[in-house]
Structure formats: structure tokens, C-alpha cells
Amino acid sequence: EKLGGRIHIPPNNPMGSRVIVRSATHREDVGLAMSRSIGDWEWTAVGVIPDPDIQVVDLEEFWKTNEVMMKDSKVFVVLGSDGLFDVRRVEFVAKHLAYGWFESSHRSEEQTITERMLVVAKKIVNMASPIKTDFYRDDISFVAKVIEL
């Protein structure tokens, strides 16, 4: 606030808090979600830190701590934006991705894993935020990767 930004905390949705700042690029006030500051260099002038918080997970320690049976387990990681995880629980996303990768009975011999996962990804996005002409649809992005054991 000392640098010229404002903090907006909606009374009915405190998780929707934003840093409000005048954007020279857009020539208007813009609300920046706290989770979306990665790479938003313009906002450093008001104290937003655009550097990512990086966490490294030792997978061998993870296996031990979480009692994952390495030979029988199917493991994957997902990194997603607030547009997905603000509206859908981690378990929802994981369930649909796991089904698409490992259990889908709708697999077609002609359909590659990439094509099948694109269908699953589109389904997840549309279930998280259906397209409606009179409704705001947040941007949604995610990446998922199977971890080979």
C-alpha cells in the first residue's frame, strides 16, 4: 500500500483477495490474484514478488513416508492454476486424470494416450468452469505428468 497498490478483500469471499494497481500497460486498474503473481514483473513497483516459490520433493522419501508400493503404484503430479483449484478439489482432478491414464474403458486402439488425455483435460476444464455467455470464466491451466517408478 505504501508503494501505491491497494488490497481488496471481498467480504463474502476473502479467498478472492486481490492487489489492485494501476496498470501502465492496460491503462486501467487491474486486480492481481495473489496466486498469479509469478512472472507479473509490472507489479514489482508495488511490492508484489513475481519469483516462484520452488519446492523440491525427494521421491524416494515420499515413497517411504506415504507407504507407496513402488512396483504396483501409478503416480503422477499435477500443477494447476487457481482457475482450476479454486473451484475443484485436488481429489476431483486426480480422479479424472487417473481414470484417463490408467483405467479408461473407452480406450480406442486408434487413439493415442495424448489424444485420450486431451479429451480428459478438456472435460476437467469444462467441469471446473462451464462455458456460459453470462458468466465469468477464469483462465485455467494445468500440466500433469506420470512419474515412472
pLDDT tens-digit profile of 17-59? 787 877 777 788 877 766 556 666 777 777 777 776 678 888 7
- What does the alpha-carbon distance between residue 137 and residue 10 come to, in Å, rounded to a whole number? 18
pLDDT band at 92 (very low <50, low <70, confident <90, very high): very high
Tally of CB atoms within 10 A around 41: 9
Strands 18-23 and 142-147: unpaired
Q: Model pTM?
A: 0.60
Q: Which ranges of 55-129 would DSSP assign to H, the alpha helix?
A: 59-65, 82-85, 90-98, 113-128
> In the Cβ-directed half-sphere of 108, how many Cα atoms lie within 13 Å?
8
List, for residues 118-130, the tens digit of each pLDDT value: 888 998 988 888 8
List, for residues 95-117, the tens digit of each pLDDT value: 999 888 887 655 566 678 788 88
Closest listed residue to residue 36, CA positions, set 52, 25, 23: 52
pLDDT at 109: 65
